[in-house]
Amino acid sequence: MAGFAVLMTILTYGLLGVIAAGIVSVCLYSCTKRRVRKDGHRRNNVALLSAAAPFVGLLWLAVALLIHVQISNKLANQDCGFSPDPYVTLPSGYVLGSANTYDGYFKAPGFETGVPVAGPGYVRSIIDLQLSHGYFIGTQFDFKASRIRAFVFDTRTRAFQTSGGGESSTWEAAVTRARDDATSYWKLYEQYRRHWPNYILLALIIGGEGAICVWLWKLLTTEFKARPELVQGR
């Protein structure tokens, strides 16, 4: 469901972007056609170039986002911020994430999560989580008993220990606690999340969109200044 929601969000904003670019494109085309009244071939070329500028800007935005995804995944070793499966990589190499934004987990380097809530090199269905002196200490939801139980995981030996019993709960209540508790695994996720890829994304957007705006401004002002009679409509 979270993946579908992210997809629909992308499609919605993409559609809105195309509509906005289309409106700006029509306005630029109309304005250019009015200002440049003579020399039909030149007028059409300038008008078409100005009309294409908003779509070039929209294309650059998509390219910048794709670059951001690659930088986040390959260099920062974390999700890009738009993923339905967010994750970060801890200094120890352990990956802390949330499958489909609901099922918190961590896994050792080279391991993958499986169907049991705990297995070789991983623990799933996490609610609270703290990292102290090489130990993951937290709570998880036990689906078999419908209880919240405490656990300890040694990151060096990958030994997993859990206490019996625990308080009764439902999965929905456990998910709510995972988001609201002061020691939720999301707090640890935010602590180790790297923010410099966002600054690179911002620089890419500002640099690229700014260059397109400067190019468009120079195109139009050069055309009008070089042909003052076109500005006056003579």
| Residues 201, 187 within the same domain | no
Q: Which residues of 98-135 are buried (b: 16+ CB within 10 A; e: fewer)?
A: bbebbbbbbbbeeeebeeebbeebbbbbbbbbebeeee
| Residues 106, 164 within the same domain | yes
| Residues 97, 132 within the same domain | yes
Q: Which of 93, 63, 62 is nearest to 77 (CA)?
A: 93
pLDDT in tens, the chain (234 residues): 555 666 777 788 888 989 998 898 888 888 777 766 556 666 777 788 888 989 999 999 999 999 999 999 999 999 998 888 999 999 999 999 999 889 999 999 999 999 899 999 999 999 999 999 999 999 999 998 899 999 999 999 999 999 877 789 999 999 999 999 999 999 999 999 999 999 999 999 999 999 999 988 888 777 665 555 544 444
| Residues 202, 186 within the same domain | no
Q: Is residue 219 part of a domain?
A: yes
| Residues 98, 184 within the same domain | yes
Q: 212: which 2 tokens?
A: 């397109």
| Residues 92, 187 within the same domain | yes
| Residues 57, 92 within the same domain | no
| Residues 139, 218 within the same domain | no
- pTM for this one? 0.82
| Residues 211, 186 within the same domain | no
Q: Is residue 82 part of a domain?
A: no
Q: Which of 104, 71, 109 is nearest to 89 (CA)?
A: 109
The tally of domains found in the chain comes to 2
Q: Cα separation of 37 and 195, whole Å?
A: 50
| Residues 148, 118 within the same domain | yes
Q: Is residue 8 part of a domain?
A: yes
Q: Is residue 81 part of a domain?
A: no
| Residues 125, 186 within the same domain | yes
| Residues 108, 170 within the same domain | yes
pLDDT of residue 100: 86
pLDDT of residue 96: 97
Host domain of residue 45: 2-76+196-231
Q: Is residue 106 part of a domain?
A: yes
Strands 122-132 and 135-142: antiparallel
